[in-house]
Copies of this chain bind each other. A is one copy, B any other.
Amino acid sequence: MIALVGCGTVGGGTALLLTRDIEHIKAKTGLNIGLKYVVDINFENAKALGIPPTLYETDYQKVIDDPEVTIVIELVGGLTFARDVVTKALNAKKNVVTANKALLANYGESLFRLARENNVCIGFEASCAGGIPIVNAITTGMAVNKIDAIYGIVNGTCNYILTQMIDKGQSYKNALKGAQKAGLAEADPTLDVNGMDSAHKISILSSLCFGYNCELDHVSASGIENIDIYDVMLGKEMDYTIKLLAIGEAHGSKLSLRVHPAFISNTHPLARISGPFNGVSLYGHAVGHTMYYGRGAGALPTASAIGADIISVANGTQKINFDNYKFWPDLTEKPTYMEPSEIASKFYLRLNVEDHVGVTATVTRILAANDISISAISQKEPKPEEPANKRIPLVILLHKTTKGKLDTAITSLQKESKISKNIIVIPVIDEKAENIR
């Protein structure tokens, strides 16, 4: 029997599937699973969804102590109470299904170890990219592949905000307000928009992809709060779409894990992932490029992923994979990371300069001195809200260079009196070449 702890949005959707749709699930999967408890302190959502009150329980210790419960679904969120529930459930030899990326990104290694010590397993499909079965794809679908890279749009809130900016020309602030109105951003959206939520997810997925215990504090993260609609539109003109990308790359024996806004070439399928949808590109040594698309959030889409975990835990396949595969974070070593300065990319630069003609020579000289070559340079119309006597924007696209060289060049550029200190830098991602071998 199953106990569900936390009946908010996702918990409600899950409880709905496990009650209203239970006969369909039994008929399809052949499993006689049943929901025994819905644990929360507030049952308004459960009541509104028609979840039978006979399931309501306020004392989660009762769940832990009930030997009939073999699967505990943790949908509380956060790190404190959720960690307590999961730890107690595992210690009571119950399997755990969770959608909690923060919990796994922070305590995954120890929780996986605890599960192994208690001869149970953890399902966490819903923790990354909502309804997309991406954990399943990486672990089983890609089983024989060496993964070269993973690129994900894994935060629906950010993607919705950026899509509104791109499609409607809205400022970040207005697009955020719109997302909050549409129920797609929290009142306090910090963890979403600052990139930390995406960092949680890429640390979890990278551990599976690369077979290392990828720790959260080695994921560099920047968010979308400072994206200027002006740059979004200039990128659009050049056939680039701005996205918040979560990136994991293997470079020989070193990994680079990072989250940042990037201009993606419109020829890349990820550029087409719009609104609240998520998309994840995987590059395998045998399969080449595969991509997975779907809703990254929402009650029923996320419950779909939780449901997949429940089925695979209940029928025993999750436990087999948990026991056999060697890439779970409690079994693997910590990776060696690339220095951020070593990371190579194309870049978009926007400088504000006093005198275009005079300054171009200075800019090209400084870039050349740092071994950086220019693929395009153009003077743009000033931003509409700026008075006519303001500095004019100079947009430069750079060929592939390292972040280290670029940072040195930017420091030099900022010393020039005719160039404003605020230089906008956005990495540019063309479609990654596959390396099928």
Contact = CB atoms under 8 A, between A and B. Distances in A.
Contact of A133 (B24, B25, B140, B288): B140
Interface string A283-316: 0111111111111001011011101101110011
A237 interface: no
A145 B272 contact: no
B286 A144 contact: no
Given A17-B286, A288-B300, 11 more contacts: A21-B286, A28-B327, A29-B326, A30-B325, A132-B290, A137-B137, A269-B269, A286-B303, A286-B304, A301-B436, A317-B320
A142 interface: yes
Contacts of A317: 140, 317, 320-321
A48 B288 CA distance: 22
Residue of A28, A131, A273, A287 most packed against chain B (CB within 10 A): A287
A293 B294 contact: no
Contact of A324 (B31, B287, B437): B31
7 contacts: A28-B144, A30-B324, A131-B290, A143-B307, A144-B310, A286-B300, A291-B292
A129 to B, nearest CB: 10
A288 B294 contact: yes
Contact of A294 (B13, B31, B131, B287): B287
B301 A288 contact: yes
Nearest to A303: B286
A18 to B, nearest CB: 9
A154 to B, nearest CB: 14
A308 B144 contact: yes
A426 to B, nearest CB: 23
A182 interface: no
Interface in A200-241: 211
Nearest to A132: B290
Contacts of A36: none
A436 B273 CA distance: 19
A300 B436 contact: yes
Shortest 6 CB-CB distances between A and B: which pairs? A133-B141, A144-B307, A290-B294, A287-B304, A131-B287, A291-B293
